[in-house]
Chains A and B, each alone.
Chain A
Amino acid sequence: MNAQDLFEIWAPSGGVWSPWAKPVLFAPAVGHEAAEERPETERRSPATWAPPPERDAALVLDLAGVEAVALGLECAEQGYRPVPLFNSCSGPAAIVDNHSIRNALALGASRLSKAGPPLDAPPAFLLDAGRMRGFPRPGCFDNRWMVFPQDLPSANFLLARGLRRAVLVQRGEGEPRDDLAHVLLRWQRAGIAVLAVDLAQSGEARAIAVRKPSRFGWFFYRTLAMMRLHPNSAGGFGAVVPQPSQGRGFG
């Protein structure tokens, strides 16, 4: 299966949520990226959590990459449309392991095809909770990344599709990560109820009030965040990012 065919399965033409699917991990590996490709076997999600049967919720699965894909596939079997938002490259000596996510996406394609959630099924946005984890070392490939409000649909778009709740699924975390808080607080302020599920705990969904992250609501938050993080940067976010926080574009 080539890259386009694989992407078509995860982001089918005509799919309501397909425009938001990030293509980077579906693109053919280039140069040194290809050197680390390796086959893996499909993993099943260890989660016992089931998404709400009502069709008024958008899911945000912020889990270790492969687990997010695995749970996304389970959600697909229950009528949700997984939307991969993984937004960084893979490569040797990379800080964030994207190879396993690439493989999980490839291996999960047939299962997703079989599940065949409708094109307008509620979305399950897939994020890698490890996107900001790790520190740059000399000679390594800093591929850490962040999620920004423009990476997801607006609250207005969600509401127009009848989605009145957002369910954040994490493991070992009660609060959304700082970058994701920028998205969820916008949604919450627009009238979307935000619930959080911690798979390491009971797996019960509880309503949360998303705390206001720094620079919330700034139109140029992305650029400013990147500028702020850039001191000591090694080309990516650099050593200044011990706590995942806030990214950018030019020319």
Chain B
Amino acid sequence: MIAPWSATPRLGRGEFEELRRRTIFECGKWDPQFEDVCVLADFALLVSPATWRELARLAERLAAEALAAERELSERPELHGALGLPRAVRRALRADGELGGSRGAVRVLRFDFHLTTDGWRISEVNSDVPGGFLEASSFGALAASLFGHELGGDPTSAIADAALREVAPGSTLALVHATAYTDDRQVMVHLARALEARGLETCLISPADLRWRDGRANVETSWFRGPADMILRFFPGEWLPSTPSECGWPFFFRGSRTPISNPGASLLIQSKRFPLVWDDLSTELPTWRSLLPETRSPREVGWRADPDWVLKPAFGRVGEDVGLRGSVDAREWRRIARAARWWPSDWAAQRRFEAVPLECDGERCFPCIGMYVVDGRAAGAYGRVARRPLIDARAQDIAVLVSP
């Protein structure tokens, strides 16, 4: 098999230091270090144009199937229980019939591709609040200029352009996020710059700063008061019910006349338990079925005895709490296994795949390519690379470049 990717040579220390600084100040990356490790890789991942086209094609098909399934699931509340959704979210989604689903706009999804011994596989879709735009777009562009290769796409520009198709210049976009977390805020600041460059106004707020009138979102803060013409959400959907009731969080799920990217219903396909309802849907999911490893309820399979099963929380993010025996330490595995035994409805068991490592200067590493799809079109990639076959908070961000 001809490898579909390769590693560029590593940057020299001085060059890398310069890249790191520019990423902080030109791209606005405020979290460049994780304990003793720089979260930016000092080399880039090179894929051939054919590989890029293949991943883009697969991602677009996955997105089309996923959104069709989401539409069907929105009308099938009897299936929501199987997805592990919090009760309050299920209640909010059930009310769809009365108020109508909240208006979605600028749909952004990210599919995380891994190269395995069986070819490309996906581990999940990030359909709720996919991040990594800053790294995929700005850090990627800096790396592309340093390494002399092309960036496959720019998700930030794709999102900002799509927003401008949705609302008129001069409109106000509310960028909703967990304001206390600088690593979330940096994403919002990054998007705000791109939106403002296109003549849109932005307001960086928490969901608690929203009030709803006639299904329309209004911002009420000490520095801005007025209607939001669109909402860009970077606040996990399953956390929304924990915001104060006067903020009207159910409007993220139903009844909003203000367009929302992404609407709350995106949680329906974000759940790692989404495959458990496939057989109950009339929507065909052939690309998903071919690319996602077999996924079952932990109740149905012998994951305790069979190390081929990986445990995943229904709403885990950035690899958190993934029970990959042999890759997480024994104590962590015990804690994850206990949680899956006690609350199996909140977990999924997925067949393990064997990731193909990439060699870089004699060192083995495991890359993952997160392909963005914005409004149905492939729009760039967020690369991550880990020293073990598990992409989590210890993984590094790596630029994904297209070789000539």
Contacts and interface: CB of A to CB of B under 8 A. Distances in A.
A247 interface: yes
Interface of A is mostly: loop
Interface stretch (A40-48, A109-117, A119-127, A149-157): A149-157
B209 to A, nearest CB: 7
A149 B192 CA distance: 30
B239 interface: yes
Contacts of A154: 35-36
Contact of A20 (B33, B180, B244): B33
A223 B179 contact: no
B32 interface: yes
Contact of A30 (B33, B192, B235, B243): B192
A32 B204 CA distance: 9
A103 interface: no
Interface string A83-97: 000011101110000
Interface stretch (A63-71, A197-205, A228-236): A228-236
A246 interface: no
Contacts of B129: 250-251
B328 A92 contact: no
A53 interface: no
B183 A249 contact: yes
A235 B32 contact: no
A88 B182 CA distance: 6
A4 B28 contact: no
A195 B328 CA distance: 33
Nearest to A232: B242
A233 B208 CA distance: 8
Given A93-B223, A235-B208, A144 B180 contact: yes
B17 A13 contact: yes
Nearest to B382: A251
B180 A251 contact: no
Interface stretch (A21-29, A73-81, A162-170, A206-214): A21-29
Interface stretch (B55-63, B77-85, B301-309, B314-322): B314-322
B242 A32 contact: no
A248 B35 contact: no
A230 B222 CA distance: 22
A222 B318 CA distance: 12
Contacts of A139: 209, 220-222
A249 B179 contact: no
**Contact residue range for chain A?**
35 or more
Contacts of A88: 180, 182
Interface in A126-144: 136, 138-144
Contacts of A87: 30, 182
B130 A251 contact: yes
Given A234-B244, A250-B131, A145 B335 contact: no
Contacts of B185: 89
Contacts of B335: 218
A250 B236 contact: yes
A237 interface: yes
A144 B328 CA distance: 31
Given A236-B178, A249-B318, A136 B239 contact: no
A248 B181 contact: yes
Given A220-B320, A235-B209, A143 B180 contact: yes
Given A143-B180, A233-B243, A235-B205, A157 B36 contact: yes
A13 B180 CA distance: 28
A68 B243 CA distance: 33
A24 B182 contact: yes
Interface in B174-232: 176-186, 189, 192-193, 202-209, 220-224
A238 B130 CA distance: 23
Given A30-B192, A139-B209, A150 B30 contact: no
Given A24-B182, A141-B179, A145-B182, A19 B222 contact: no
Interface string A1-31: 0011001000001100001101110010011
Interface of A: 3-4, 7, 13-14, 19-20, 22-24, 27, 30-32, 35, 87-89, 91-93, 136, 138-145, 149-150, 152-154, 156-157, 217-220, 222-223, 226-227, 230-238, 247-251
Closest 3 CB pairs of A and B: A235-B206, A236-B180, A234-B208
Interface of B: 17, 21, 24-25, 28, 30, 32-36, 38, 110, 126, 128-132, 176-186, 189, 192-193, 202-209, 220-224, 235-236, 239, 242-244, 317-318, 320-321, 328-329, 331-332, 335, 393
